[in-house]
Chain A
Amino acid sequence: MDFTFLGDMFASLLKGLPLTLNFWVLSLLGGGTLALILNLMRTTRIGNAVAGAYVFVFRGTPLLIQIFMIYYGLAGFGFVRQSFLWPFLREPYWCGLLALILNDAAYTSEILRGGLRAVPKGAVEAGRVSGMTRFAILRRITLPLAFRQALPAYSNEVISMLKATALVSTITLMDMTGIARAAISETWRAVEILLCAAAIYLAISLLVTRFSAWFERRLSPWHFGRTTP
């Protein structure tokens, strides 16, 4: 084992970490917001159909094709090139981010939907008979219960998105995977380089797993045998 090489490799891979984290956090924020909107849309008949079709398309196709479609595909349309969005859509950064957000929204909206469906009808009725407004019920009962229910699935989605950010390297972006890919074609020491990169991703996802387990215990202590808060 060539430890100087490994050390250098870690150092240069970590230079890509900010971009990876940037994509990760922003796509989760954007995707989460869009997922909430998609669920609100589901209260109307047309909105429900639109949200259903959206989820069908984005969950039924690979993220890679979504990224390419936005990065290479949209540029083929004259009206896109003429629009005010073109300064953004010509940049691989914004195309990658847009694809990640759209993709995350489809998965997250289904997780949220599952959580909302699992809220017991009785808990909502108990809120209604105590005179709460719709908004108060949503804020004090439905969303807290749905969120607790959805948390394990959502923490998987958070890790999935971390892994998904690696795909932006295919449209020239130098995130950790992009740097690893470039280093491979320079040095041809693929195994060492890839293991370094994998170790960094793994460390982050382990942190997420730990945090979400802690958070789950904090939010739903009664599931873990604690009788008092």
Chain B
Amino acid sequence: MTDAVETKAVGPALSITGLRKTFGANEVLRGIDLSARDGDVISMIGASGSGKSTLLRCIPMLEIPDSGTVTVGEDSLSPKGGRLTRAEEATARRMRGHLGFVFQNFNLWTHRTVLQNVIEAPLFVQNRSRAEAVDEATALLEKVGLAEKRDAWPAHLSGGQQQRVAIARALAQRPRAILFDEPTSALDPELVGEVLKVIRSLAEEGRTLLIVTHEMGFARDVSSRVVLLHQGQIEEDGTPEQVFANPRSDRARAFLSGHFDRTR
């Protein structure tokens, strides 16, 4: 499993161009362009309501953008009118197969054990053999430090443990990139560390990660790039040093100083 990260020669791992999304009268995303090369670790930060979660959810088409294009590997989608056609739905499924997604609220399947959660997609989406899927899942659970919980029910795990299972579940799809939607926001403070540790180890392996987060210190330490969203547009995009030490706009400066005062 350690060499699961294959290097793709051509093109970015994923890219987004001209993405727009409105909810009713509320324009949440106002033309976003963003692309990630293999091995990028991109943190997306911004105030609540800045659109960062919506942006992340648009990539696997959990939210369907009003316009714009999302490309994952060789597959590309430009949905119109807020819905997917049957053919687009199939493309979206292929794209999702190349992505891992980790939710804020874990969203483990409560009616399946830890191991069953991890092998579900390999078995029933990717049609891999059970023996192989179980071996790989066991290794992944080892990696997130939960090998001994493989037969437990999700309801009996702490939030931090559930989130680590969710990360193993995402990894089991052998994704080209993993998307994290505020992975520690629903956790008690003392459980945040164990989850961040796992994400950090993934970054160190050279995996491609997109992380929506409020953990500024973590974003600064782990990311290769930091993207700051403000009112549905990208306000800052650069290395952590650039964004955190020398933000170009006043708005970014205000947001960052406020945040560091509060959380640090």
Contact = CB atoms under 8 A, between A and B. Distances in A.
Interface string A74-106: 000000000000000000000000000000000
Interface residues on A, range: 20 to 34
Contact of A123 (B60, B107, B113): B107
A14 to B, nearest CB: 40
A60 interface: no
Interface string B73-115: 0000000000000000100011011011101011111110100
Contacts of A148: 111
Interface in B150-164: 151-156
Given A122-B105, A141-B109, A148-B111, A129 B153 contact: no
Interface stretch (B2-10, B42-50, B117-125, B243-251): B117-125
B109 A126 contact: yes
B107 A130 contact: no
Given A122-B103, A129-B60, A136 B124 contact: yes
A221 interface: yes
Contacts of A228: 113, 151-153
Contact of B110 (A132, A140, A222, A229): A222
A120 interface: yes
Interface string A202-229: 0000000000000000011111001111
Contacts of A123: 107, 109-110
A144 interface: yes
Contacts of A141: 109
A141 B112 CA distance: 10
Given A222-B156, A227-B156, A228-B152, A131 B62 contact: no
A134 B125 CA distance: 12
A128 interface: yes
Contacts of A133: 93
Nearest to B90: A133
A149 to B, nearest CB: 10
Given A133-B93, A136-B124, A126 B107 contact: yes
Contacts of B105: 122
Given A133-B93, A227-B152, A228-B151, A144 B62 contact: no
B96 A145 contact: no
Given A222-B153, A222-B155, A227-B152, A130 B111 contact: no
B113 A229 contact: yes
Contacts of B110: 120, 123, 145, 222
B151 A125 contact: no
Given A132-B121, A222-B156, A122 B93 contact: no
B21 to A, nearest CB: 17
A67 to B, nearest CB: 39
Nearest to B152: A227
A132 B103 contact: no
Contact of A130 (B89, B113, B173): B173
B120 A130 contact: yes
Contacts of B111: 144-145, 148, 219-220
5 contacts: A144-B111, A221-B153, A222-B154, A226-B153, A228-B151
Given A129-B96, A228-B113, A228-B152, 13 more contacts: A122-B105, A122-B106, A126-B101, A128-B60, A129-B62, A130-B97, A131-B93, A131-B125, A145-B109, A222-B110, A223-B155, A228-B151, A229-B151
Interface of B: 60, 62, 89, 93-94, 96-97, 99-101, 103, 105-111, 113, 120-121, 124-126, 151-156, 166, 169, 173
Interface of A: 120, 122-123, 125-134, 136, 140-141, 144-145, 148, 219-223, 226-229
